[in-house]
Homo-oligomer: A and B are copies of this chain.
Amino acid sequence: MSKYDVLCIGNAIVDIIARCDEKFLTDHGIIKGAMNLIDAERAELLYSHMGPAIEASGGSAGNTAAGIASFGGRAAYFGKVSNDHLGHIYTHDIRAQGVAFDTKPLQGHPPTARSMIFVTPDGERSMNTYLGACVELGPEDVEAEKASNSSVVYFEGYLWDPPLAKEAIRMTAHQAHRAGNEVAMTLSDPFCVDRYRSEFLELMKSGTVDIVFANESELISLYQTSSFDEALKLIAQDCKLAAITRSEKGSVVVRGEERAVVDAIEIEELVDTTGAGDLYAAGFLHGYTQGHGLADCGKLGSLAAGLVIQQIGPRPRQSLSQEAQQRGLLKAA
């Protein structure tokens, strides 16, 4: 048995979250619903125009790791912070959730990454990410013991933005496969897919990646087709397993000829979509590494995603294991 259920690898980012109106986005040239990469100067500028905010640890794969731990899974994380106050907060939060996190922090500049997240009245989040210390994540940060001792290694497509992380990913994937384990990725964002389409497809077709998470617009972007069904057929050919989220329409899971269609959970009030995809992946991978069937994996994903979008911030404050037990999706430990 592996020591960890899931090793997550991603950009370690502290979220700075505020509400704004639609006009703010257009006035500041922020692409709605997307992850906008920004430099230090633009970060200063946007922050000076941002309303009162709250801070919470985030980062796509970090949120997934926290979600898996909250479900009771054994999660580990690779991600680069700096040795500054935001880095301490990040490290505290992910460890306090029970995630094994030992990536050496950068000493000094650049500072810990932050993403200014603007939440519009419709609950949609638009992210503005300054990568900071994340640009230093590289092959030397691959801890072999975790890379080869995790049932699934999961990473975010966002890691193609910093210069060195893709080398770390390839190294980790190699170690995982050599140990007989699987590798999963999320396509992260439709614009990210647009930046790295051919590389992402190569990762899948070469078998570097076994399992793919994506939402509908990322999938559509990947195959540059307007047909969801067509794209679904293609991804079923290109990887072993894919889980495609469709917001309030739930998700579709494909494995070869097999299909599972899963409903979203009912939402009382949509507050902030930040973390929805990350938490879907957390629920799915928790079920998957516990040996559940595809539909049940999808239901755990729907549950976690549905809970996180009813609060501000990217990581649910409930115990996901309790929530899943109450709904009969997991047995009491």
Taking Cβ atoms with an 8 Å cutoff, the residues of A that contact B are 18-19, 47-48, 50-57, 66, 84-86, 89, 92-94, 96-97, 311-313, 315, 317
Contacts and interface: CB of A to CB of B under 8 A. Distances in A.
B317 A19 contact: yes
Nearest to A70: B52
B54 A54 contact: yes
A253 B53 CA distance: 33
Contact of A86 (B47, B48, B85, B312): B85
B92 A47 contact: yes
Residue of A18, A93, A311 contacting most chain B CB atoms (<10 Å): A93
A222 to B, nearest CB: 33
A96 B50 contact: yes
Contact of A54 (B18, B85, B313): B313
A50 B57 CA distance: 14
A106 to B, nearest CB: 15
Contact of A85 (B53, B84, B92): B84
A315 B52 contact: yes
Nearest to A112: B85
22 contacts: A18-B96, A19-B317, A48-B92, A50-B92, A50-B96, A51-B96, A51-B97, A52-B57, A52-B66, A52-B93, A52-B96, A52-B97, A52-B315, A52-B317, A53-B89, A53-B93, A54-B54, A54-B56, A55-B55, A85-B86, A311-B312, A312-B317
Contacts of A54: 54-56, 313
A279 to B, nearest CB: 14
Nearest to A17: B54
Contacts of A311: 312
Nearest to A19: B317
Contacts of A55: 54-56, 89
A93 B315 CA distance: 22
Contacts of A96: 18, 50-53
Given A47-B92, A52-B94, 11 more contacts: A48-B92, A50-B96, A51-B97, A52-B66, A52-B317, A53-B96, A54-B54, A54-B55, A55-B89, A85-B86, A312-B317
Contacts of A317: 19, 52, 312
Nearest to A48: B92
A295 to B, nearest CB: 30
A167 B89 CA distance: 35
Contacts of A56: 54-55
A226 B311 CA distance: 41
Most interface-central of A48, A50, A54, A56 (chain B CB within 10 A): A54
Contacts of A86: 85
Contacts of A52: 57, 66, 92-94, 96-97, 315, 317
A117 to B, nearest CB: 13
Nearest to A87: B85
Nearest to A99: B52
